[in-house]
Structure 1
Amino acid sequence: MDSIRSSQITEGIQHISESVFVGLCHKVGTSQVVAMRRDVVDILEMVMNHLPKSDKIGTMVSGSYGEGFRLKGSDRDFMYWPNNHRVIWDLSQSKYYNTHRQTLILCDCSDSPHGFTLLYLLSTSMDRRIHRACVRMNNEYYVSSSKYRQITLSALSIPYNPTPHGPCASGTIGRLEHDHAHCFVSDLWPPSAFPWIDRCHSWPQPHVVHDIVKNGCHFVAIGHKLGKHEDHEWRISFSLAEQKLVYVMNHCQFLTYGLLKLFLTEIINNGVGDDDKLLCSYHMKTAVFWVIQQNTIPHWCPQNLLGCFWVCFKLILKWVYEGVCPNFFIPGNNMFLSKIHGVKQHQLFISMSELYEKGLAFLVHSPSIRSCMIDVLYNPRNSICTNDHTLISEAEFDRNLFREILPLNIISGKLNIQSYIRYLHSIEQMIGSSLLTQYQVITLQNMIASALQNTAFIFHMETYTPENKLSYRADKMSCHMLKLTAKLGCITDMLYIAMYYYKALRYVKALSVIEMIKVKLAQPYVMYSGNVDTALYIEAVGGQSWSTKIRQVVVGDIILYNGIHYISELIPEQQSALQRHMSILYIPHLVLLYMLEILCYRLVDTMRVQTALDDLQTLVHYDLGQLIPLDYRDISWQILGICQQVTGNLQAALYSYQQSLRQKPFHKIQTATQMRIQRIYQWIPLIN
């Protein structure tokens, strides 16, 4: 009888595990979706390392974003290092380098905790930032991590306003948090991590170990809090190695890591202030690495997902009890040493022990997991398909892909013709490669479209002079580039053509483009912000290439870079945003469409202005977040006010500007709004 009951319990847990696996595939991503994200990140990184100045600065996309996660609250982590500087571990390794071209830095680990080092400058650096970051110790010059961090932080004031976050400069660009870590690189594997190589008997495979070791490591600008030289020490970073390890996980292992991240965010750290959070995502990842390598779990599969999670959870609980979390590459580096000890350690252990006593049932406290577990308890006999290749439809996959690639543009801060020409040339060199995946090709295509749009407007900004042959040629070139983007980009990329025609005083042409866009937007199968009628979408473009789909059915927001003047009516908003370190305006496509329609009609057909204005007013007043995301309501009310003002309705414009000030100040345009309000107050008495 007991064996029957035990078998039933085991089957029940397996059934719940399968349900959680499916739920995580939808929350975290199927294996195909995760592979697509990684391909997009890889090509983004490749483009960044082919940009002008990439011979001087190396770049890596790291952290959760680089690993393939897109969980709420995740940020984008970037690592940068000077390519003309290399770190070595002993002087004999200097023979591998041309010291006339590269400045060598020697590690001095003799007086630092495990996993940390001092960096001794072997010769004078030509980089002024590095030179300024040096301190003199023992009659030698060392690069101080705290000074270097401070210097690189101050250099990042534009396009966003950064704040210190560990070794990083943290800030917001658009809707995403970004962490930028300026570091150094070594082509050579750290001697203190050599035992890791010998430990890799079953995982990872030898070719992965070889690839990891030959790519060396990085040094990020933060010292150990208990070290003798905290302000000057550097932490050895294995970010690249960790990313490669995550890439070779099977999907169940990756989802276990994802489940641990959700457990951390939604249970352990729920309601806890940033300063009081003791465990972090890096500890979760380290636990998964150790469990996989120690071969504790024989079967990483959907039916055993909760069992895999439980083993990792118990390992973390053991670490908290002992106060020791060994770094995966350098176990002597106890990552709890400076933070989880004493009273805090005891309190954390008590809270985790209480969860342990409840068993896996405590996962119902995670909003992301609760529904998966409850569904199975209410419907225990339902069969569950765990083949993640069939878990999402073609339309759902496309939604993930287009959400990934549409916002990508990586040189918004370098706004001149030469930068964009070199950028386009770099992409041109890559796009013909047979080594690219299909996801990477469509990503490059989207990058080209965005770059061509910006180049067209920069051409007009820098060369326009009435009755000038150069202006005429630049105009033809700009028009050609914008028409090319219509063949590469999504439906609403055509709005850049209409914007350009308006800027160039060709109002009738602008209106003809707007009419074409309206016809395309009226189709019932268009996809905007992930919203789409799946059946109609499949009927219209199912099975076709992504290039065809993005051109025929995908609708995106309009991205305006504040260093480029697109139309004069929005220049005050762009300047206001730039002053507050906001480099981009995101405008809902219909808001800009109606704005351009109003601006053009008032000059060619005044009878139709009011209809377009009514359409815009209805949209802004009554949309419930479907066509105007909450973050974009400030600029949408602002544009409504601008259109009401240019058509003479000052009272309505005043109300719209006031409404703009009441919205979430996402775009940082309050200075422009207040300026426009003051001008209306000056004009109203004159009119009355």
Structure 2
Amino acid sequence: MESLHQGMCEGLQHMSESVFVGMCGIVGTSQQVAIRRETIDVKEMVERRLAPHDGSIGMLSGSYREGFRLIGSDIDCMFWLNNHRVIMDKSQSEYYNTVNTILILSDSSESPPGFTLLQLLTPTTYREVQSACVRMNDRVYISSSIWRQLTCSVVFPNSTVHGPCGSGIIAGRLEYDNAWCFVSDFWPQSASSWIDRCHSWPDSEVVHDIVRNGCHFVAIGHPLGTNENLQWRISFSLAEYKLVNSMNQSQFLIYGLLKIFLKEVINQQSEETNKLLCSYHMKTTVFWAIQQNTLTHWCPQNLLAGFWVCFKLLLKWVHEGICPNFFIPQNNLFLAKVRGPTQNRLFLQLHELYKKGLACLLQSSSIRFYIIGVLYNPRLSICTNEIVMRYEVDFDLELVKHFFSFNIDTTDLRPLLQAIKIVEQLVNSPLHQYQDAILRELSSSIFKNAAFILHNMYTMAVVNKHVYIANKICCLMLKLAARFGCVSNMLYIAMYHYKTLRYREALSVIEMTKVKLAQQYLMYNGRVDRVRYTEAVGGQSWSTKMRQAVAWDIELDNEICYINELIPEQESALQNMWPVLNIPLFVMLHFLEFLCYRHIDTTLSQAALDELQVLVHHDQGLYVPDLYRDISWEILGICQQITGNLQAALYSYQQSLTQYSWNQIQTATQRRIQDMVQSTLLQ
């Protein structure tokens, strides 16, 4: 009997190891997750230091911030006004200069646990805040319901209210939730008991960091409380991120497994109950399970045991109708939805899954394979060493994936120069594993934009000496951008030479870029010949890899003029509140080549146009991603119109209009068509 029990335990451990490996493939290894987190952390660290006192601050939150990249997950962001601060007690006002800081008092005396009223203590000049204010009992409060409506579409037009957020879909597939909230530098008194609970997890350093960073208030009231339209929910989003960050890989994968189990198993039981539980309940379950020491060792061999502990806790909560918030246990997360007849039905469904034991995981399409593989081959050797699971090229791909769109959100020269100083300070401070590479790419992005902003400032300069000095600085910045960044950054040098009428210099840079882009080991758009890449640059520094073997598409900030021919497209995008133009690398290369050769050799100019036409017409997503086909057809049309081939240009513009409008350039396209038709009629 004892040997049978031992065999079952060994079988469970073997199965756990298999699921651990599978979850590393789905969710990512600890190194991949670290890359995702550190990329976001460093960028936000720089942006926060750059934010003006009277500006706003943004923060990624939710599962994307935590390091998940699960299919179908949305992007959660939080924004707040930098000079508005919530205090928990009026005595805390002494920490602020009330001349330039607007103070708001959290009054939770008559609100349910986890919720509060926000009383405006000092006048504000912000129109949205003023419009959201209501008077009650001779005091001025900020209404959460009015604030929600006013800020819903601030980031993206046509967003709809979803909970405390403005929600919508980008590119027909990427869902987002943007919440405009208020921030407090203080930890709420109602969550003070959480500090005393942290004996085993998290450690004291993490607890201190969490408490020191305060909390947020999001615009939604308790659905069963009085003054729901005035109430705000206390958000511990930043604290939760720090807790997830302090998990070991097995704990994080159990959290991921619960998210997958919710989506693929629990929510498939019936339409009546598939909206009762959410990912936040799964996260709360893991937090409590870890802190209560329900498992001695959270390791790959105990992955399924950890999952089962969490599932049993969730089942208990559903049976009782109580899911205690991790920071304020008196706040029952089930109070609004999981109650009455639907609560009972959900419990019965979960209990049926419980009776099946771990076999209930076979209902998950993502996990089934890793369990069945062990059942059919119990002697299968499984390696849970993460270093062996992934190769160097995998981590390079992860880094590259998160570097694209890595711009500092400012188009003023002074903040960009300040950003360079901040990056320099960070480089000289202790860095995490991937932060050096992240800071190099961030520096490259800053130098690119600063060069073009400086050039545009001195375009109309009268004193030649000033123009000469500015030009030298711009060229130096772009060379630094190329040195710190990837192969495609060389095209920004070519753009600058074209903009300053130095066509031969631009073509020389383009030719050098072509040579690098023709290498068979090039990593581009998530594709790479793994063997050739490893042979060519394996084991070398990240800076060497970037300069020699990594490229991605071109991103133009729409508030900066890089190339005059694309000004209408940038203006169109700005009208639609779209910040950047994303242009396929090889489309931009042929575009620049065509523009430069127009002034030197018409035959070679036509050859460049022919190459561009073949690329746009016949590429199957290898060099022209589907999302960027709108700008690709547009650029082809611009070139054709310049050569006088109006019929071909008209066709290209029409094709641009039929593509998904990722770059928001429809207005420019329509105007180009109208201008072309009118000029034809005048002839």
TM-score (norm 2): 0.91
**Partners of 1:477 and 1:98 in 2: CA distance:** 39
Question: Which runs of 5 or more residues in structure 1 are unaligned?
Answer: none
How much does 1:547 deviate?
1.5
Q: What residue number does 2:118 align with?
A: 119
**Counterparts of 1:453 and 1:95 in 2: how far apart (Å)?**
42
Q: Which amino acid aligns with 2:487?
A: I
Distance change (3 Å), C-alpha of 1:118 and 1:686 = closer
Q: Which moved more, 1:603-612 or 1:3-12?
A: 3-12
How far apart are the structure 2 equivalents of 1:487 and 1:377?
Answer: 52
Q: Give the aligned partner of residue 240 of structure 2.
A: 242
Identity %: 59
Is 1:355 the counterpart of 2:350? The answer is: no
Tell me the CA shift for residue 567 of structure 1.
1.8
Aligned to 1:447: 442
Q: Which residue of 2 aligns with 1:576?
A: 572
Change (3 A) 1:617 1:108: same
| Separation in 1, partners of 2:418, 2:158 | 27
Task: Report if aligned partners of 2:408, 2:445 keep a CA contact under 8 Å in 1.
Answer: no
CA distance in 2, matches of 1:371, 1:574: 48
- Summarize deviations over 1:179-219 as a string: whole Å, max 9, x none: 44333333333222222233233222233333333433222
**Could you tell me which amino acid in structure 1 is paired with residue 161 of structure 2?**
P
Correspondent of 1:329 among 311, 322, 327: 327
Partner of residue 424, structure 1: 420
In structure 2, do the counterparts of structure 1 residues 166 and 471 end up closer, same or farther at CA, with 3 Å as the change threshold? farther
CA shift digits 1:531-574 (9 cap, x unpaired):
11222212222222111211111101100112222222222222
Amino acid at match of 2:252: F
The whole-number CA distance in structure 2 between the counterparts of 1:368 and 1:204 is: 30
Deviates more, 1:454-463 or 1:20-29: 454-463
Matched, 1:658 2:657: no
The residue aligned with 1:646 is 642
**How far apart in 2 are the matches of 1:416 and 1:272?**
53
| Aligned counterpart in structure 1 of residue 307 of structure 2, from 309, 324, 332 | 309
Cα 1:266/1:603, change in 2 over 3 Å: farther
Cα RMSD, aligned residues only: 2.9
Q: Helix, strand or coil: the match of 1:49? A: helix
Cα distance, 1:265 vs structure 2:
3.1
Match of 1:164 among 161, 165, 168: 161
The answer to whether the 8 Å contact 1:52/1:423 transfers is: no
**For the residues of structure 2 that align with 1:677 and 1:525, how far apart are their CA atoms?**
41
The residue that corresponds to 2:621 in the other structure is: 625
Residues 590 and 275 of structure 1, relative CA distance in 2, 3 Å threshold: farther
CA distance in 1, matches of 2:665, 2:363: 40
SS of equivalent to 1:119 = strand
User: What residue is the counterpart of 1:415 in the other structure?
Assistant: 411
Counterpart contact for 2:267–2:273, Cα < 8 Å = no
The Cα of 1:461 is off from its aligned counterpart by 2.8
User: Please, which of 453, 462, 481 is the counterpart of residue 458 of structure 1?
Assistant: 453
Residue aligned with 1:107, SS: strand
Per mean C-alpha deviation after superposition, the further-off stretch among 196-205 and 356-365 is 356-365
The one-letter code sitting in structure 2 at the alignment partner of 1:193 is: A
Task: Return closer, same or farther for 1:177/1:495 CA change in 2, 3 Å cut-off.
Answer: farther
**Kept in 2: contact 1:106–1:121 (CA 8 A):** yes
Check if 1:297 corresponds to 2:295. Answer: yes
- The count of aligned residue pairs is 681
C-alpha distance in 2, partners of 1:684/1:634?
Answer: 24
Aligned ranges 1:535-614 → 2 under 5 Å: 535-614=531-610
**SS class of match (1:604):** coil
621-630 or 549-558, which deviates more: 621-630
User: How far apart are the structure 2 equivalents of 1:588 and 1:86?
Assistant: 43
Is it true that 1:534 corresponds to 2:533 in the alignment? no
CA contact (8 A) 1:498 1:509 kept: yes
Letter in 2 for 1:295: N
Please list, as runs of the form range in 1=range in 2, the aligned pairs for 1:192-207 lying within 5 A after superposition. 192-207=190-205
Alpha-carbon distance between aligned partners in 2 of 1:466 and 1:34, rounded to the nearest angstrom:
48
Letter paired with 1:222: I
Distance across 2 between alignment mates of 1:115 and 1:66 = 23
- Residue number among 283, 286, 289 corresponding to 1:288 in the alignment: 286
Q: Which residue is equivalent to 2:257?
A: 259
Q: 1:103 to 1:365 in 2, by over 3 A?
A: same
Question: How far apart in 1 are the matches of 2:615 and 2:374?
Answer: 42
**Contact residue 660 and residue 673 of structure 1 kept, 8 A:** yes
2:47 equivalent in structure 1: 48
Separation of aligned partners in 2, 1:394 and 1:74 = 27
| Native 8 Å contact 1:48 1:54 kept in 2 | no
- Would the aligned equivalents of 1:115 and 1:236 in 2 still touch at CA under 8 Å? yes
What is the TM-score normalised by the length of structure 1? 0.91
**Is the contact made by 1:586 and 1:632 (CA closer than 8 Å) also made in structure 2?**
yes
- In 1, the alpha carbon distance for the partners of 2:66 and 2:487 equals 31
Question: Equivalent residues in 2 for 1:17-96 (5 A)?
Answer: 17-54=16-53, 57=56, 60-94=59-93
Compute the displacement of 1:394 (Å). 0.7
SS in 1 for 2:388: coil
348-357 or 277-286: bigger deviation: 348-357
> Which deviates the most, 125-134 or 201-210?
125-134
1:382-414 CA-to-partner distances (Å, cap 9, x unmatched) read 211101122110111111112122321131xx3
User: Is the 1:52–1:422 Cα contact (8 Å) retained in structure 2?
Assistant: no
Task: Give the secondary structure class of the aligned counterpart of 2:582.
Answer: strand
2:273/2:342 contact within 8 Å kept: no
- CA–CA distance in 1 between the matches of 2:93 and 2:513? 61
Deviation at 1:288, TM superposition (A): 0.2
Matched, 1:402 2:421: no
Deviations 1:76-99 (A, max 9, x none): 434344454443334455555565
Show structure 2 runs of 5+ residues with no match.
none
Measure the CA separation in 2 of the matches of 1:554 and 1:272. Answer: 47
- Partner letter of residue 538 of structure 1? T
Counterpart pick for 2:207 among 193, 206, 209 = 209
**How far apart are 1:445 and its partner, in Å?**
1.8
